Structure 1
């Protein structure tokens, strides 16, 4: 991934125009001499601070009872491979007193969310300093900023009367005070934040929400002991001028990692054959996962049966490769399965198991058939099931593919939204 752009850093008595380097480095750490931004030698020495206009509160002496809130997080991958250096870098960020926000930046489908989930589990199971609590929010499932703030406040203070803080700005002020005065060390994960960043133009990468921007910039002041991990496709330009922020690229799988992934999925073939497929598809994690599942379910796992005409073209855009594989899947799916996926794509929120039959009115009286369909789609890795919430989701790129198909049938789209 390559970006080249100007950004303005607001410093005392001056305005510095800084050209940022190419961000294709595996890790870009920005460290500017900014005496107005506090740091601490250890996280436990964070300086309490209160936001103006917010009444001081007596904070609980113990972490929230539901201290590890991962119900919105994706299920851990059974076939995890590689990413060793990135995981070590995240460990260093977590352990460092000079880092409080890390951004995992990469193309959609490179595995940012899975990496974040794997690392959180790693922290919770390792000998590293343990967080007092973990809170995960997926913005693709719910991009309402105010609901995010409400959920975070309920997590931090379950008995808080939110009616006293009716606006987002009021919630932000209270959150700022809570984190600054709180001695607990929380690990917050904001997943898929690109939906709240400008996708193009002069404002590319900047936050579309002023309240979210203000809260994260205050969080970056590091006058607390907590840590925030963000996954997004776009660079976090609103945070790049803080030395407490670290930018880390999530890039393609290496050839060896891609081969290991195909093997764990059940694909059989010689080492050269597997390496050729990984290199042909550019080590693209999402595509390799879909290809592996396709081979196992429709070609007995034999790499030699991979259709030659499925190979990507040299000039094909990265995201078009996902659609290429899904179009081949569409040929193998039944009409009912395709219509189900088109209906599923109309909903951004996770779909509860109890609502599956609503996506196919013809199956309303046959719940067993609907469950059988989703079980097959989960096996194909097109849908994902979260047992903690009994809901189904799909990757945003897969959703986009079937949403475009649904738009070709406007009558069905209208009926689904009634």
Structure 2
């Protein structure tokens, strides 16, 4: 029997306000702004703990009508959690709901208390996980001025991210380690967990996400188990945890996953996942805070400057430098210590290496040692980098053979190295003269000096060193051809004879290629790339374009001066163009990472080589690759120019059907950008006709599923742009068998995107949301920046249509920032138009400015399709 137990509006308001308008289960905000400035949007619901209906969940016949509709019987939830909890009555008992309610109200009270009394210090124990050790040591000299600044930022709950930057060796890691191991500042902020991660020791961003989520699951057992059930989207689970529990996340050594290939994009994250994670972090409703260290500026966070604080580390001041030298047993008068500090520019690592290399006999008179290291013609100005190299050179002379061997071995990989491999490689480099026991002793001594860092990574002991020390000792290896060949061969054989199937195995092969190429064994490096990495296909399967770029950079930078000596890739006795193949691959990997400037540079270097002696197939591929880069950056004029050159070169010789199909689909893409739909369809029809399945084929099997799938998707795009939703939907369904036959992740991603687009235009928002989420995950997995942004632009429109305007604006603002910095000019125009549409009449002036900016850019790059659309909008 149905009972009239609905909550009153007053009760609903009380339930919402007692949890600050957050869902009591997932803690998502349930209130927000409305398009009308005089209204607000409420997505939350007052749910009954005991149902008002006899047939409803958790019905209790003992309760009176007043008790049923009282605040004590209510809990504030978002719509999704309300549905899930009521559908799964057995797993969500009344008692469990009361616990959820109590926890949510307690958290709301704590948040209110913190804001009202920021000096209150909690006595609770902070959960900690230092996944990697910092370079903390007992002799660390505290930099009081910087510590005071950091403490003030930590106390400000509006600060969400602190970025500490500076050149290598300035002590960023030591500063963070010593600062946060004293918990006072964390206690005042009511931080409940601390998680430290070093990208020096583990470069894989996905591993970082998995370890962070595992820490949260192990440390906060009261969190709802549902938060950890979605293993397919670890980042979404982390976002939900951070919306509940205030955590301090430290990301050390970010420069190893930031771009440094061109000044234009220097400092941008190579991982789109990490950028999205930090942007989400900056919006966390709790007191969570991220602390970052890097040699480069954190350019991807510039749109969030209001919640990001930057500390640029410079040299130690005179007092700090003298204190550090004294702690390292450097004697002499204070004026001597001041001279050393001035000469070494107050650089902490330089001062430490100077002290480590100081002979015992000169402990009390260090100036003579300094003069000997820096003795040059007085008119020559020595750079800090050169000073550090000289210091390391003198320091090396004080080391035993065992210590040099250990430092050389630990420097071979860009990531950490396990103890067994480290000792084995050290023995190999010494031609088995050094014993395992002697090397173990040397390793311990270097750990004690702080020059080698010992870590526990995935329950294994691993070792690394400072990047400056690594670069110095790796150069020592590659400058000796026989030693370089020995080390390269050791690393190449480390993964065994099987296929490379993990990022850890890949790092050994990539490092082997780098060392072999740099030490003069270019042919061996080239053969390793072709045989072990299957000419780059293995790298694409592992979605590691950065690794591919490293390989190709090594093979192009250290190539022999006489290209006529190269081994042939194409079996047609044209040995000149092998170098072109590596430049082309480097351009492709750079494009995949979204590094447009470097991609263009790589392809143009290939063109320079081709101008001296051309091989037509390579010429076609190079020019087409350059055209595809210009398509992504939105330069229609240049993409048309280079594709025309590519097609002219193709006409001068017989090329494969596969290459011809790629030329036609690329040409069709340009037609679509220009709004020339009939021309695009004509090009695509050629590919469709040449890739038809055999009439008797039951499973529509074709010899070139990639080309046929891409042609179908081009036709889908054309139909959508012309407003023919029905045709687009039919074409999309027809493409599925060929997408499944293809092994390319990018084709699967594009198929998901267009399926989501069709669903969105058809008004099926629920299907569109789930499909686009899959496309977004695939784009992140494959590190395909261009398609990730294209997907995010469409998602922002979808959020707006679902009345999630704040989320839509956040998403589109991120797209505008990335497209402007990455030179995705056509997507930049699309993003500006989309934001203008989202803002609409709520701010007509800003919307008009956005459309004007979009039109100016569209005219500049000759983006005709957008120009036509904007002219219609203007009318």
Q: Same fold (TM over 0.5)?
A: yes
- SS state of the match for residue 183, structure 2? helix
- SS state of the match for residue 78, structure 1? coil
More deviation, 349-358/108-117: 349-358
Aligned to 2:293: 231
Alpha-carbon displacement from aligned partner over 1:207-241 (angstroms, at most 9, x marks no partner): 11111111111111242220100001111111122
- SS state of the match for residue 335, structure 2? helix
Write the mapping of 1:6-405 to structure 2, written as runs, cut at 5 A. Answer: 48-49=27-28, 67-123=127-183, 128-129=188-189, 131-158=191-218, 164-166=230-232, 170-180=233-243, 182=244, 184-199=245-260, 200-242=262-304, 243-295=306-358, 299-300=362-363, 302-311=365-374, 315-361=381-427, 366-386=435-455, 390-405=461-476
User: Greater share of strand residues, 1 or 2?
Assistant: 1
Q: For 1:120 and 1:66, locate their aligned partners in 2 and report how far apart those are by CA, in whole Å.
A: 11
Deviation at 1:95, TM superposition (A): 1.0
Aligned to 1:407: 478
More deviation, 201-210/276-285: 201-210
Alpha-carbon displacement from aligned partner over 1:73-111 (angstroms, at most 9, x marks no partner): 315221121411111111111111210100001011000
1:346 and 1:297, CA in 2 relative to 1: closer, same or farther beyond 3 A?
Answer: farther
Is the Cα contact below 8 Å between 1:187 and 1:227 reproduced in 2? Answer: yes
In our comparison, the structure showing a higher alpha carbon Rg is 2
Deviation at 1:163, TM superposition (A): 8.4
1:370 and 1:394, CA in 2 relative to 1: closer, same or farther beyond 3 A?
Answer: same
Larger RCO (CA under 8 A, 6+ residues apart): 1
Is the Cα contact below 8 Å between 2:340 and 2:367 reproduced in 1? Answer: no
1:285 and 1:45, CA in 2 relative to 1: closer, same or farther beyond 3 A?
Answer: farther
Q: For 1:126 and 1:164, locate their aligned partners in 2 and report how far apart those are by CA, in whole Å.
A: 30
Q: For 2:135 and 2:473, locate their aligned partners in 1 and report how far apart those are by CA, in whole Å.
A: 22
Deviation at 1:298, TM superposition (A): 6.7
TM-score, normalising length from structure 1? 0.78
Query: What are the ranges of 5 or more consecutive residues in structure 2 without an aligned counterpart?
Result: 1-18, 31-79, 85-91, 93-98, 107-124, 219-224, 494-875
Deviation at 1:318, TM superposition (A): 2.7
Q: For 1:134 and 1:152, locate their aligned partners in 2 and report how far apart those are by CA, in whole Å.
A: 10
Query: What are the ranges of 5 or more consecutive residues in structure 1 without an aligned counterpart?
Result: 1-43
- SS state of the match for residue 360, structure 1? helix
TM-score, normalising length from structure 2? 0.39
Deviation at 1:391, TM superposition (A): 4.0
Aligned to 1:21: none
- SS state of the match for residue 69, structure 1? strand
Deviation at 1:407, TM superposition (A): 1.7
Is the Cα contact below 8 Å between 2:254 and 2:293 reproduced in 1? Answer: yes
- SS state of the match for residue 188, structure 1? strand
User: Greater share of helix residues, 1 or 2?
Assistant: 2
Q: For 2:439 and 2:21, locate their aligned partners in 1 and report how far apart those are by CA, in whole Å.
A: 52
Q: For 1:404 and 1:125, locate their aligned partners in 2 and report how far apart those are by CA, in whole Å.
A: 42
Alpha-carbon displacement from aligned partner over 1:143-181 (angstroms, at most 9, x marks no partner): 111111111111112488978433xxx22222222212x
Q: For 1:299 and 1:122, locate their aligned partners in 2 and report how far apart those are by CA, in whole Å.
A: 37
Deviation at 1:69, TM superposition (A): 0.3
Say how many residue pairs are matched.
367
Deviation at 1:315, TM superposition (A): 3.2
Q: For 1:137 and 1:325, locate their aligned partners in 2 and report how far apart those are by CA, in whole Å.
A: 30
- SS state of the match for residue 157, structure 1? helix
